Amino acid sequence: MNISKVAKATGLSAKTIRYYESIGLISAPVRSDNGYRSYTDGALRELRFVKRARETGFNLEECRELLALYRDEHRTSAQVKKLAQEKIVDLRARIAGLQAMLSSLEEVVGCCHGDANPQCPILDELEKG
């Protein structure tokens, strides 16, 4: 299967697929006589796997770890669960940080009259650093 078909089948761009190859996240596909990449069904499954892992918040290094476990017939579900639990902790911390930012921004926006006056509490707050 060529890269455009794989891109369509996975929902990833050809550029993203090439990038994943360049960083060694997925194996480089076999090249046909005309130089085009030819992907296997296994590569297609792995690309879908990575796409879903990225959609659930895993970064590329974590995807690399998950792919290694996916490929390892001797893996344990405990190993996979540990990575997923660590990601949950990370996501909760990120959500808490975003909630704090939202609260702070809502507070300063509430202090701004939004009128013709050049004085703006939002800018004053940002200036404080």
Helix (H, G, I), strand (E, B) or coil at 10: helix
58 CB contacts (<8 Å, ≥6 apart)?
Answer: 66, 87
What is the chain's pLDDT, residue by residue, as a tens digit (129 residues)? Answer: 999 999 999 999 999 999 999 999 998 899 888 888 899 999 999 999 999 999 999 999 999 999 999 999 999 999 999 999 999 999 999 999 999 999 999 999 999 999 999 999 999 999 997
Question: Residue 58 is encoded by which pair of tokens?
Answer: 């895993």
Domain range list for the chain = 1-57, 76-129
pTM of the model: 0.82
Which residues contact residue 76 at a Cβ distance below 8 angstroms, ignoring those fewer than 6 apart? none
CATH class of the domain defined by 1-57: mainly alpha
Give the span between the Cα atoms of 7 and 17, in whole angstroms: 7
The position carrying tokens 């060529």 is 2
The amino acid at 65: E
